[in-house]
């Protein structure tokens, strides 16, 4: 099979939680012969913005994407609702100024949360400063970066222990931040000129077909246009099942490796985990047939 016909529509740079800088990611994509690459950093377009001129120089087709952290609508009186990732693809036009401003407001709330998280950790006797965490997390400093600092300083042995003991949603240092609901995320992507796609459905709180059907209905009403059928964490069976759901709901299928560089070494750019992905350019062509306006 010709590797030149492959695309990868889900990747992260070091502008969010990937390890590879945007320009280097574009060069790798070119080297392995990808025909199109989408950068879908968490809650920021900074990686795409930096990569775009490099891609243009190299003649690589680079697509503007994003992966939003959202929450399922809260149940009355319930615990903090589960986190859901939503991809957005800006295939026909650049993200609107309004969308960029909305992202900026979300980042502001993340910065406030990070300050509160430092204060809470300090009150628990953990010596940590915001600048230490920001040195590795830069413009998208988040809990994974706090976890790394806690490991480096010897407070915990592993990043997972950092979450379990301090950082997880209901752990002792937990601080809530404003996060959009999934429906709000879908609306913002649409209003900004993009195509919303439900990311890696295997990671949803339930992933059986019946549950997914009732989950998808209101999302489609809100403007969801696609679902990530192909992903490194999806088994063959998952991919078949999600492809059927996409057809049933009239959603486009999207796919990608979810490459994070050294931060997720088992996942390769373009080919996923143990080569479980091989996404043809026709996937992107079909996405382009979906009207976003």
What is the token pair recorded at 290? Answer: 């979906």
Rounded Cα distance, 70 and 293, in Å: 22
Looking at 163, 166, 230, 259, which residue binds ligand AMP (CB under 6 A)? 163
258 sits near Fe ion (criterion: CB under 5 A)? yes
CB 17 to Zn ion: min, Å:
4
Q: If contact means CB under 5 to 8 A according to the sort of partner, which of Fe ion, ligand AMP, Zn ion, none does residue 258 touch?
A: Fe ion
Q: Which does 35 bind (CB under 5 to 8 A by kind): Fe ion, Zn ion, ligand AMP, none?
A: none
List 195's β-bridge partners, or say none: 89
Which of Fe ion, ligand AMP, Zn ion, none has residue 50 at its interface (CB below 5 to 8 Å by kind)?
none
Residue nearest ligand AMP (C-beta atom)? 142
Residues 17, 35, 179, 228: which binds Zn ion (CB under 5 A)?
A: 17
Q: How far apart are CA 114 and CA 243, in angstroms?
A: 39
Pairwise CA distance, residues 259 & 262, whole Å = 9
Q: Is the dihedral of CA 12, 37, 232, 2 positive or negative?
A: negative
Q: Which of 50, 143, 190, 268 binds ligand AMP (CB under 6 A)?
A: 143
**Residue 68, C-beta contacts closer than 8 angstroms, at least 6 positions apart:** 42, 43, 85, 86, 87, 88, 180, 185, 188, 189
Taking CB within 5 to 8 Å according to partner kind, which of Zn ion, Fe ion, ligand AMP, none is near residue 143?
ligand AMP
Identify which of residues 120 and 177 has a Cβ nearer to Fe ion in the complex: 177
Which of the ranges 9-17, 100-108, 184-192, 195-203 carries the binding residues for Zn ion, by CB under 5 A?
9-17
Residue burial 263-281, b: 16+ Cβ < 10 Å; e: rest: bbeebbbbbbbeebbebee
Q: What are the angstrom distances between the C-alpha of 13 and each of 24, 28, 161, 193, 272?
A: 9, 12, 25, 23, 16
Tokens 């986190």, residue located: 83
Which of 88, 142, 193, 194 binds ligand AMP (CB under 6 A)? It is 142
Choice between 182 and 284, CB closer to ligand AMP: 182
Among candidates 109, 111, 10, which has minimal Cα distance to 66?
A: 10
Picked from Zn ion, ligand AMP, Fe ion, none, the partner binding residue 188 (CB below 5 to 8 A depending on kind) is none
Residue 18, interface with ligand AMP (CB under 6 A)? no
Interface characters, 74-113, with Fe ion (x: CB under 5 A): -----------x----------------------------
Footprint on this chain of Fe ion (rule: CB under 5 A): 67, 85, 199, 258
Footprint on this chain of ligand AMP (rule: CB under 6 A): 69, 142-144, 160, 163, 168
């Amino acid at each position: 099979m010709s590797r030149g016909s492959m695309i990868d529509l889900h990747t992260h740079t070091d502008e969010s939680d990937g390890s590879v800088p945007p320009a280097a990611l574009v060069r790798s994509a070119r080297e392995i012969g990808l025909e199109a690459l989408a950068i879908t950093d968490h809650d920021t377009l900074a990686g795409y913005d930096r990569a775009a001129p490099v891609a243009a120089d190299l003649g690589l087709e680079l697509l503007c994407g994003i992966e939003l952290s959202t929450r399922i609508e809260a149940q009355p009186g319930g615990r903090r609702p589960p986190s859901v990732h939503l991809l957005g693809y800006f295939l026909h036009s650049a993200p609107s100024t309004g969308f960029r401003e909305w992202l900026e407001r979300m980042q502001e709330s993340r910065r406030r949360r990070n300050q509160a998280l430092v204060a809470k950790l300090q009150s628990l006797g953990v010596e940590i400063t915001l600048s230490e965490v920001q040195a590795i997390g830069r413009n998208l400093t988040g809990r994974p970066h706090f976890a790394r600092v806690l490991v480096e300083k010897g407070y915990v042995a592993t990043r997972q222990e950092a979450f379990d003991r301090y950082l997880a949603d209901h752990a002792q240092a937990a601080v809530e931040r404003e996060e959009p609901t999934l429906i709000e995320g879908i609306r913002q992507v649409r209003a900004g000129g993009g195509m919303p796609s439900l990311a890696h459905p295997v990671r949803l709180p339930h992933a059986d077909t019946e549950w997914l059907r009732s989950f998808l209905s209101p999302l489609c009403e809100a403007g969801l246009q696609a679902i990530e059928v192909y992903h490194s964490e999806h088994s063959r069976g998952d991919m078949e099942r999600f492809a059927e759901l996409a057809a049933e709901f009239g959603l486009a299928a999207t796919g990608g490796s979810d490459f994070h560089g050294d931060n997720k070494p088992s996942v390769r750019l373009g080919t996923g985990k143990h080569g479980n992905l091989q996404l043809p350019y026709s996937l992107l062509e079909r996405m382009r047939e979906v009207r976003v306006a």
